[in-house]
Amino acid sequence: MIQQNEIVMLFLGVGVWVFTVRNRAGLSRLPASMIILAAFYVLLGSCVVTVLEGFFWNTFFNLLEHAGLAMSSVFTAIWCWKVFLVSKEPR
């Protein structure tokens, strides 16, 4: 069953994705930008599967949603660790 907040979250996420694509050059200057952008894209992916969950394979997509969220959190933690504890590059 589709929920309204999941649709809103998806639309907002797609909007942010467009923003990241348009400002790719600026965002690439983020330290370890691939990791933080991956964290966002995986989160966006979990939003997609959350919506799909309402139509079919709800159990599978639900699992993917939570797995995506977990991956996103791990990427975020790795990025924070890399940027705030390991890296000595200017930020």
Side chain identity at 69, as an amino acid letter?
L
List the Cα angle 18/15/65 in 5-degree steps.
Answer: 105
Site string for another protein, 9-48 (x = CB under 8 A): x--xx-xx--xx--x--xx-xx---------x--xx--x-
Cα separation values, 59 from 1, 42, 50, Å: 12, 19, 10
User: Would you tell me which residues interact with another protein (CB under 8 A)?
Assistant: 3, 5-6, 8-9, 12-13, 15-16, 19-20, 23, 26-27, 29-30, 40, 43-44, 47, 62-63, 66-67, 69-70, 72-74, 76-77, 79-81, 83-85, 91
